[in-house]
Amino acid sequence: MAKQVKTDRREFIKYSTLGVLGLVLGGGIVFSPYLQAKENRLRPPGAVPEKEFLGLCIKCGQCLQVCPYHSIELADITKGAGEGTPYIDANIRGCYACDAVPCVLACPSGALDHSCSKPEDIQMGVAVLEFPDTCLAMTNTPVPKGYNDKMKAFTASVNNVTSQELQLLEKFDGYEGKECTLCADMCPVPNPLSAIAMVPDAQGGKRPEIYDGCIGCGACQEVCPTQKPSIVVKPRVTYEQYYEKTT
């Protein structure tokens, strides 16, 4: 009987250990952000290629501190590899292509290339009309009430609201009930018509047409009033790379 108890105890310890180990490893596989697929993030202006960027960025947050639109966030552990590095979530706040590109000037490590010194030098990605069926302009749907609630809420959440943000809110106001031209009107490129314009479509409405002056700043994605933005930015892709592949 004593031998049976000893054997049972060994079996219990063995399988308990295996069970705990399985839970730990299983949890790691399921929950570890480092084992999940990498997210192609929208980086601040001047960001060097991603692999080089991750090696150069010292996660100092200086770019975030000088951004007058509070566009830049630092990735937390849920974002996987690159924790602490700066990125832009265009669903919340796009980049507004500041004249002096202060985020680049503030970067001490070269992760943001200092040759990017003016808005025309910026190349973050390219805008794409991803969901034309929901585009208000293409469906001749007026801009709905409350379209600017998200921007108002974001501005209210900021501790040190800047004059640039207040000007942005003012520019964004007054579209309710009108034809939607927000993506084109809010484009911060110095010559917006080189990046995006509203053009007639075959159904008698209008649609946003993207041109090679697009810098992929994400402003159009932020201001798109549909529940899920109809227009989105593809990070780290040039106009030629995207549109030549799809035409």
- Domain limits of the chain? 50-244
Burial class (CB in 10 A: 0-12, 13-18, 19+), 129: buried
Q: pLDDT (tens digit, 9 = 90+) per residue, 202-230? A: 878 899 999 999 999 999 999 999 999 99
Other Cβ atoms closer than 10 A to 36:
14
Identify the CA nearest to 44 among candidates 199, 217, 174.
Answer: 217
Per-residue pLDDT of the chain (247 residues; tens, 9 = 90+): 544 545 555 554 555 544 444 444 444 433 333 333 356 899 999 999 999 999 999 999 999 999 999 999 999 876 566 899 999 999 999 999 999 999 999 999 999 999 999 999 999 999 999 999 999 999 999 999 999 999 999 999 999 999 999 999 999 999 999 999 999 999 999 999 999 999 998 878 899 999 999 999 999 999 999 999 999 999 999 999 999 876 5
Encoding tokens for residue 118?
Answer: 């003016």
pTM strictly above 0.85: no
- String of b and e for 143-174 (b: at least 16 CB within 10 Å)? beeebbeebeebbeeeeeeeeebeebeeebee
**Cα-based distances in Å from 44 to 90, 222, 231:** 11, 15, 19
Are 195 and 214 within 8 A, CB to CB?
yes
Number of other CB atoms surrounding residue 17 within 10 Å: 10
Separation of alpha carbons 64 and 74, rounded Å: 8
